[in-house]
Structure 1
Amino acid sequence: MAPLWLLVLGVAAGAAAQDPTPVVIWHGMGDSCCLPTSMGMIKRTVEDNVPGVYVRSLMIGPNIIDDTLNGFFRPVDSQIEEVCQKLAADEKLQGGYNAMGFSQGGQFLRAVAQRCPSPPMKNLITFGGQHQGVFGLPHCLGTTGVCEIVREMLDLGAYNSYVQSHLVQAQYWHDPTKRDEYLEVSQFLADINNEREVKNETYKENLKKLENLVLVMFGSDTMVVPRESSHFGFYAAGQDKTVVPLEQTKLYTDDYLGLKELDEDGRLAMLVADGDHLQFSITWLVENVINVYLK
């Protein structure tokens, strides 16, 4: 019979092996890490349905006010760099984590997966993400003053160098009628989508390390223009009427992000939730996401 201390160690090791995979959350425009009616509710829902799970809701900056404003005015690359550092320093995430990104937090977390593979991201679920960018901003989720500044800056032109450097939403603005200008000026989206002539092979290799990439589009989304951007669909070149689905885009056919390979491996899921932008029930979230990808 094994000594008691060996039995105790075995039980402890078995318990540790059963610890649920931690979850990282990144909020969207006009939101913050910790509002009880938004990310706070998501955090509680995950914790309630995955007992013992560690959930980290990302704060960008030192406090909630900065966190909210940074979603409008801090360059995306700087935000991603901060998040990569925070995740690397979090001891609870070193064995890997699942990620949930809401609205613009979706494509930002995808950038984390592509640029910072350590600690490893296992499953990435994005809700209403603007993966192919937006060509229009019909709604601004922020205070009246902030939204007026956003509108004034976009009126100057999303590809104006000052606007690109100072407005987050301009950094994923995608004008299908100005392809060359977009590729030249876009500080974030054109890079993270690997669209320029010189490809970053590590982006593809790192994204392919995901166990699953889950893309949630909202069927009546009036904020993401076009809504199919949440599934990597976008307008055909040179116009803003006809939307091309992911499978017909060069992003997929040339596969310079690894999306086709993920799809063929059964690791790319495209879900549709009824309702407008980020409008879903807790029941839907639990049944379609938490029970399937976080447990």
Structure 2
Amino acid sequence: MVKLFLFFIIVALVDSASYKPVFIIHGIMTGGDSMEGLKSRIEEKHPSTIVYATHRFEGWSSLENMWHQVEELGNDLLNMSSQYSDGIHLIGYSQGALIARAILQLYPNHNVKRFISLSGPQAGQYGTSFLHIIFPGIALKTAFELFYSHVGQHTSIGNYWNDPYHQVLYYNYSEFLPYVNNEKLSNGSDIFKLSLIKLEKLVLIGGPDDNVITPWQSSHFGYFAENNDTVINFKNRDIYTKDSIGLKTLDAKNKLVIVTVPDVNHFMWHKDIEVIDKYILPYLD
């Protein structure tokens, strides 16, 4: 009887240890506490899993320059992951999903196994539905005047504002998104690609009823065509066809997962139990 009891104890310990630690990065104008629902659900369904939701760059500080956030949070992630030789998983929500992806690209020595991008503006943003909370007087067609300036590039939003009607200014002024997407080559271009290819899984989650990420297909690397509002599927964009950051390579190896979920508002992705159970937890196993 004692031997049987010890057997079950050992099995339970091995089972709980099989779940890798999870690092979560919150969205803009929020903080670590906003990810508590997601964190708690992971801990409930995967007992003994170590889940860390960062409290860095909360509230107004989430508007700081993207490179600064990537470097600071990247150091945190590397410090955490160094304690787990078998690797960790990474989840980023909204702006945090773009930050998370850039961390992986900037730090090729990461040991992240699976990265889940939860409604992140991976191809950029061209919509003001959430901007009015921060910039109440801003208009969509004139936002480029602020964001494509030296002042505007000090803001996180300016760093990934991708105006399809002002692409020349986007490439001339944007200090972040064109580089991490390898639209503009840099000394880090090769590393930016190789760092993503290391992943076991890249999971891109988004949906047509998001109402914040614009176009919503940006969560899958789709985006507007230049000078019009037609959305081009990511597989027909240069970022995929030219394999600029490794999406095509990941896809060919069945490591790229595209998830489209209707009827989910942007502010519910990390709170919706069905989304968490169906589209996040399976990739943390």
- What's the TM-score once normalised by structure 1's chain length? 0.84
Deviation of the 1:228 alpha carbon: 0.7
Q: Which residue of 2 aligns with 1:64?
A: none
Q: How many residues align?
A: 269
Q: Does 1:115 align with 2:114?
A: no
The SS at the match of 2:97 is helix
After the TM superposition, which residues 121-132 of structure 1 pair with which residues of structure 2 at under 5 Å, given as runs? 121-132=112-123
Q: Does 1:50 align with 2:38?
A: no
Deviation of the 1:15 alpha carbon: 3.9
| Counterpart contact for 2:125–2:162, Cα < 8 Å | yes
Q: Which residue of 2 aligns with 1:203?
A: 192
Instruction: Name whichever of 148-157 and 117-126 sits farther off.
Output: 148-157
Q: Which residue of 1 aligns with 2:211?
A: 222
Deviation of the 1:87 alpha carbon: 1.9
Q: Which residue of 1 aligns with 2:23?
A: 24
Deviation of the 1:16 alpha carbon: 9.4
For residues 217 and 95 of structure 1, what CA distance do their matches in structure 2 show?
29
For residues 287 and 245 of structure 1, what CA distance do their matches in structure 2 show?
24
Taking a change above 3 Å as real, the CA distance of residues 197 and 99 of structure 1, as seen in their structure-2 partners, is closer
Q: Deviations over 1:235-273 (max 9, x none)?
A: 11222x111000100111111101011111111111012
2:75 maps to a residue whose letter is Q
For residues 128 and 153 of structure 2, what CA distance do their matches in structure 1 show?
15
Superposed structure 1 runs of 4+ greater than 3 Å apart: 14-19, 91-95, 146-156
| Counterpart contact for 2:241–2:248, Cα < 8 Å | yes
Q: Which residue of 1 aligns with 2:72?
A: 82
- 244, 251, 275: which is aligned to 1:284? 275
For residues 85 and 161 of structure 2, what CA distance do their matches in structure 1 show?
34
Deviation of the 1:82 alpha carbon: 0.7
Deviation of the 1:192 alpha carbon: 0.7
For residues 262 and 128 of structure 1, what CA distance do their matches in structure 2 show?
19
After the TM superposition, which residues 196-275 of structure 1 pair with which residues of structure 2 at under 5 Å, given as runs? 196-198=184-186, 200-239=189-228, 241-274=229-262, 275=264
Q: Which residue of 1 aligns with 2:172?
A: 184
For residues 226 and 273 of structure 1, what CA distance do their matches in structure 2 show?
15
| Counterpart contact for 1:99–1:109, Cα < 8 Å | yes
For residues 174 and 25 of structure 1, what CA distance do their matches in structure 2 show?
25
Instruction: Name whichever of 150-159 and 263-272 sits farther off.
Output: 150-159
1:82 maps to a residue whose letter is E
Q: Which residue of 2 aligns with 1:4?
A: none
The SS at the match of 1:25 is strand
Taking a change above 3 Å as real, the CA distance of residues 176 and 150 of structure 1, as seen in their structure-2 partners, is closer
Q: Does 1:172 align with 2:171?
A: no
| Counterpart contact for 2:123–2:223, Cα < 8 Å | yes
For residues 88 and 106 of structure 1, what CA distance do their matches in structure 2 show?
17
Deviation of the 1:43 alpha carbon: 0.7
For residues 207 and 137 of structure 2, what CA distance do their matches in structure 1 show?
27
Q: Deviations over 1:108-127 (max 9, x none)?
A: 10001111133411111111
| Counterpart contact for 1:235–1:242, Cα < 8 Å | yes
| Counterpart contact for 2:38–2:276, Cα < 8 Å | no
1:89 maps to a residue whose letter is N
Q: Deviations over 1:71-117 (max 9, x none)?
A: 12x11111111112112222544541111111111111000111113
1:23 maps to a residue whose letter is V
Taking a change above 3 Å as real, the CA distance of residues 104 and 273 of structure 1, as seen in their structure-2 partners, is same
| Counterpart contact for 2:108–2:191, Cα < 8 Å | no
Long gaps (5+) in structure 1:
1-10, 62-66
The SS at the match of 1:182 is helix
Long gaps (5+) in structure 2:
1-9
